Amino acid sequence: MKVAFLLLASGRGTRLGADVPKAYVQVAGTPICVRSLARLRSAAPDAVSILAAHPDDRAPHVSALEPRLRELGLVAVVDGGATRQDSMRRALAAVPADVEVVAVHDAARPFAPIAAVREVLDTARDEGAALLAIPSPDTLKEVGPGHAVRRTIDRSVVWFAQTPQAFRRDVLERALEHAERTGFDGTDDASLCEHAGIPVYVVPGDRRNLKVTTPDDLVLAEAIARLEDPTPPR
C-alpha cells in the first residue's frame, strides 16, 4: 500500500518555553520533527510525507531542515491553519493521488513505536480508521466545581489517544467533509470519523510515545533518546 504521513508542526509550543517552536527544538542533538519523521519512515520506508508548518517558521526553521526532511520522504510543505483540523486538511490536499493510506502525526512525538506504527497502518487499510492509544494506568475521577469529586470513572474503558492516527484516504476525506459541513471541529483526527459514524479501532501504543509539551517532557525525551538512539538521525 502507498502511505503518506501528515506531520503537523504548526503549533507554537508556548508551554515548553523554548527559544524556537517545539517542532524545531533539539532532543539529544536532533530537531524533534526530524526525529519524528525518521521514526515513521523506519516503519514505512517507501512512504511520502507532507509537513504542515506555521507560516512564520518557513524561512528560519523549515528551510534549514528541508534537505534532511526530503531525504526522509518529504514531498511538500504547506502552511498550517488556525486549528489542527485546518492544518490536517491543507496537508491532505497535498497528498499525491496514488496514496491509499494517510497517517496523521504530531511532529512533537519523536518516539512512536515502529511495530505499532506498522500495525496501525495495516489496521487502517483493512478497517478504514485506527489510532495508537494506551489504556489509562491510573484511577480516573470526574471533578466538579470547587474540585469536588463527582464520581470515579471505570478506567478499563478509557484509553489515552496518541498519534499516528491512520485512515484509508477516502475515509478521511469523507469524515473531513462531514465535519466541515456540520461545523464540527475535532480535538484529534479520529474524532472526525467518530462524528461521522465511522468506526475507529485502537492499536496499543507505548507510554514512551510522549508528546513534548512541557520542560519536564523535554527532559524525559532527552533520556529516552539517549537510551533508544545511540546513533540519532542526522
The CATH number assigned to the domain holding 59 equals 3.90.550.10
Mean per-residue pLDDT for 119-141?
A: 97
**Beta strand extents in the chain (DSSP E only):** 3-9, 26-27, 30-31, 48-53, 74-79, 101-106, 129-135, 140-143, 149-153, 159-168, 201-204
User: So what's the pLDDT on residue 232?
Assistant: 55
Note whether residue 152 is domain-resident. yes
Note whether residue 233 is domain-resident. no
Mean per-residue pLDDT for 18-31?
A: 91
Nearest Cα to Cα of residue 56 among 3, 95, 9:
9
**Banded model confidence at residue 234, pLDDT cuts 50, 70, 90:** low
User: So what's the pLDDT on residue 140?
Assistant: 96
In this predicted structure, the answer to whether residue 230 has a pLDDT above a threshold of 60 is no
In this predicted structure, the answer to whether residue 68 has a pLDDT above a threshold of 70 is yes
Mean per-residue pLDDT for 146-175?
A: 97
**Banded model confidence at residue 49, pLDDT cuts 50, 70, 90:** very high
User: So what's the pLDDT on residue 19?
Assistant: 84
User: So what's the pLDDT on residue 18?
Assistant: 80
Check whether the bond before 110 is cis (ω within 30° of 0): no
- DSSP reduced 3-state for 38: helix
CA distance 79 to 54: 6
Structural domain total, the chain: 1
Residue 96: which region, alpha, beta or left (left: phi > 0; alpha: psi -120 to 50)? Answer: beta
Note down the domain range covering 121.
Answer: 3-228
User: So what's the pLDDT on residue 233?
Assistant: 61
User: So what's the pLDDT on residue 116?
Assistant: 98
